[in-house]
Structure 1
Amino acid sequence: MRRCAIALFGQRARLRWLHLILGGALFMPYWLVGTIALGAFLDSPGMFGGSVAVQFGAYAIGLPLAAVTALFPLARPMSVAVARALCGIPADRLADGPARGRDAKARTAGWFTLHVGAGALISGASLALPPFAVSLAALPLWPALRESEVGRYWGLDRPWMLWAALPAGLLMLLALAATAAATGALLARQALRLLGPSPADRLAAAERRAAEAESRNRLARELHDSVGHALSAVTLQAGAARRVLDTGDAADLEFVREALTAIEETTRRTVGELDGVLGLLRRGEEVEEGVGPGLDALEALVRGAGPRVALTVDGALGPVPEVLSREAYRIVQEGLTNAARHAGGTPVTVRLDARTEELEITMENPLPERPPVARPHGGRGLRGVGERARLLGGTAVAGPVDGVWRLAVRIPR
């Protein structure tokens, strides 16, 4: 009994009833047009004074008109929003955005027609039936109503019919609630089929997810390269400065000063980059293509990596495209981070050749006496270098060659 009462009068049933009444309100303009059209041919006395046949004729004319208007782009977003709010349908089960394609538009028109058509019937019954049912149920307790013309017309002066009026009125109200609940449940089921995502919608959603994943991966690469390099460079410079101070040689104080200056420049630059990337993350935006330094900041990067890093540039870096300049900077940054992490203190040579149609980046450092400790799941630095090169149509090769570790990257300009 309790489950039946919840099904008929619970919150979900009430919201779906409201959804049907809203559909009936939306159908009123179409029904009015149908009434005027029939009245012009049948000489009907008015929109509310015609016969039942005229009223249902106007209803039949209004349905195709509603289907036509549902072909407009805003029809599906509005229908989906209302269905999610009032029909109790999970948000991810319905499509987003305007309907695209003939099938999606046809299903949207079918849904809108079903909504306003069923809503018109339920709304009409909700307006007309309750007053009649309440009056009927009140007959045994209302002598004046029994003696009225309506009571004599229905023959309610007979005792057995009089007392049957009370349960009959209550059954009418119960039947109305049951019909509204069943119709609301039917609309909720049909919403999944008619307003659900089409293959084109699923493809668009997959493309959006792929774009979001690429944006997150790009953000992760930016943070990894910037912060990882800064920590490695600061650690290397601080360690070198500490060793010089331990020796107590006053002649090497200039080296300590240079190391501290490099630490200051590296941390300041990294904090600025970190603020920019995290600002995008807080706003929920994608990482823009122009975010991050380029090859014009390469000398500062090398200077912050320490005195054992030698930079050689062949050709002019100014004409290098902005995207390639930024990605090349990140590649050099990651190469320096990799050298500092696995072979800290050894000389590193960086060569850039921009004289041809390809930008060539070569980085070398002697192999350490002990092999570096491998991470449990592998590092992401060289993998990120390869991803950056491949995205621009280039190649990246890293590994030991003739006693040195070499990173060679070639990217077309």
Structure 2
Amino acid sequence: MRGRPYAVLGPLFGRRARRRWAHLILGGALMMPYWLVGGVLVSSATGGSRLLSGSLGPQLWAYAAGLPLAAVTGLFPPAGPLSAAASRALCSVPAESLAEGPARSWPGRLRVAVWFALHTGAGALVSGATLALPPFALGVAAAAFVPSTREWMGVSGAPGWQLGLLPLAGAAMLLALAGCAAAVGGALARLAPVLLGPTPADRLAVAERRAAELAERNRLARELHDSVGHALSAVTLQAGAARRVLETDPAFVLEALTAIEETTRRTVGELDSVLGLLREESPGTAAGPALDAVAGLISRSGVPVTLTADGELSAVPAPVSREAYRIVQEGLSNALRHAGASPVSLSIALRGGELEIVMENPLSGGAPVVRPGGGRGLRGVAERAALLGGESSAGPVGGVWRLRAGLPLGAPRGGDGR
């Protein structure tokens, strides 16, 4: 359990205070080249004043001349991420309060420049004091016991009671140094979220990136649902039908097994493509099937389908064609789950700048073949249609179940649907 000494000395010498002190010393090290360049400028302007002559005046002028140079460095893009990383690691500043990546606007860059100037400027002063004050404080404390040190400091004739106070004076100097370092380090830690925090442009960029990531996850979820869900529905139906006629119709059983084999092989390929996107191995290569593959989808669907196509479907833009295929796939899966082997009527037509998909199958009062609790297919259809700026509807109409989707042929919202 931490006692009273830690409560007094912890804010000055604790782990957080030491890390912030190290952060200030890092700023002092960064200030060194600017101080040297400032010294050259001051020497040129004053006719040859020597920076290292020991005089405090030229050194302060060099310090004043170097600060604007340090601020200019803060305008460069890498300064923001580097400063934020140092603040997180050494100043105990929460990561969520700092901007991610370089500043995206000039106001943000100016804030980073102010921070860089403050960090290097304050760090130079604290670093200088850290180098100079401890030896001096130790000399003051030693003067009480070492005559030669008293002579060097010019206090050899001081009364004994004054010499007895010299160790306390040395300790007070060290405590004052630690207090200044802790105060300056704390001030920089409080300023870091203000100067290195995200600007409105940064927050908007982060929100857009997160929205894009969410949209991509939703798209991949729809791909997996439509591909794997349809395959499972078809395989379940074919396997159930084959089981019922296993002994009476071997030819049908062979046909069902062939359809199951083709369906699973195709689905494994689609699943591998989607998983490749999840691993970010080959983005852009897993576009997925389109309307030209609808005939093959129907032949393996396990349900009799009457297809009516109207218009030049090959001219449908690729993003619309891919989403249309998935909508047809989900419609067939829905028919399989709820109507079994009932015939399905499918119409795909181009009408006035819109691709219209209409699927109808008889209503069935029986239990669904697969997933009696329902699924997310119809919601996925609605999401796909909305992504392209279209609309969809599904429900009973005149004794049949009717699924309709209208997809505009113009540029979809979100580019290629990714």
Q: TM-score, normalised by structure 2?
A: 0.90
Q: Which residue of 1 aligns with 2:336?
A: 340
Q: In the aligned structure 1, how far is the partner of 2:337 from the partner of 2:7?
A: 66
Structure 1 contact 44–50 (Cα < 8 Å) conserved: no
Aligned equivalents of 1:376 and 1:348: distance in 2? 21
Give the AA of the match of 1:238: A
Give the one of 120, 136, 140 matched to 2:140: 136
Matches within 5 A, 1:178-197: 178-197=179-198
**Cα RMSD over matched residues?**
2.4
1:13-28 correspondence runs (5 A)? 13-28=17-32
Paired position in structure 2 for 1:220:
221
Contact 1:312–1:350 (Cα < 8 Å) also in 2: yes
Which residue in the other structure is 1:329 paired with?
Answer: 325
CA contact (8 A) 1:395 1:410 kept: yes
Counterparts of 1:5-404 in structure 2, within 5 Å, are 5-43=9-47, 45-146=49-150, 148=151, 150-151=152-153, 153-155=154-156, 158-245=159-246, 248-249=247-248, 252-283=249-280, 288=284, 291-354=287-350, 357-370=353-366, 379-404=375-400
| 2:414 matched residue in structure 1 | none
Closer/same/farther in 2, CA of residues 48 and 173 from structure 1, 3 Å limit: same
What's the secondary structure of 2:346's corresponding residue?
strand
Aligned-partner residue type, residue 162 of structure 2: M
CA contact 1:294–1:328 (8 Å) conserved in 2: yes
**Structure 2 residue identity aligned to 1:35:** G
- Structure 2: give runs of 5+ residues left out of the alignment: 410-418
What CA distance in whole angstroms lies between the structure 2 residues aligned with 1:373 and 1:113? Answer: 70
- Determine if contact 1:339/1:365 at 8 Å carries over to the other structure: yes
**Structure 1: distance between partners of 2:102 and 2:199:** 12
Aligned partner of 2:416 in structure 1 is: none
Are the counterparts in 1 of residues 343 and 362 from structure 2 also a CA contact under 8 Å?
Answer: yes
Instruction: Tell me by how many angstroms 1:405 deviates.
Output: 0.7
- Contact conserved, 1:8 with 1:181, CA < 8 A, in 2? yes
Q: CA offset at residue 223 of structure 1?
A: 1.2
Does structure 1 retain, via aligned residues, the 8 Å contact 2:390–2:407?
yes
Assess if the C-alpha contact under 8 Å between 2:49 and 2:58 holds in 1: no
Q: 1:311 aligns to what SS in structure 2?
A: strand
Shift of 1:279: 2.5
Percent identical among aligned pairs is: 61
Structure 1 residues 307 and 381: alpha-carbon distance in aligned structure 2, compared to 1, 3 A threshold: closer
Report if the CA contact (8 A) 2:311-2:349 is conserved.
yes
How far apart are the structure 2 equivalents of 1:307 and 1:342? Answer: 12
SS at match of 2:279: helix
Total equivalences in the alignment: 405
Deviation at 1:273, TM superposition (A): 1.4
Residue 406 of structure 2 aligns with an amino acid whose one-letter code is: R
Deviation string for 1:184-206 (max 9, x for gaps)? Answer: 11100000111111111111111
In the superposition, relative to structure 1, how do residues 327 and 105 fare at CA in structure 2: closer, same or farther (>3 Å)? same
Amino acid at match of 1:328: A
Instruction: Work out whether residues 74 and 116 of structure 2, in 8 Å CA contact, stay in contact via their aligned partners in 1.
Output: yes
Distance 1:156 1:338 in 2: 103
Are the structure 2 counterparts of residues 185 and 282 from structure 1 closer, same or farther at C-alpha, using a change threshold of 3 Å? same
Give, in whole Å, the separation in 2 of the partners of 1:156 and 1:316: 109
Counterpart Cα distance in 1 of 2:369 and 2:328: 22
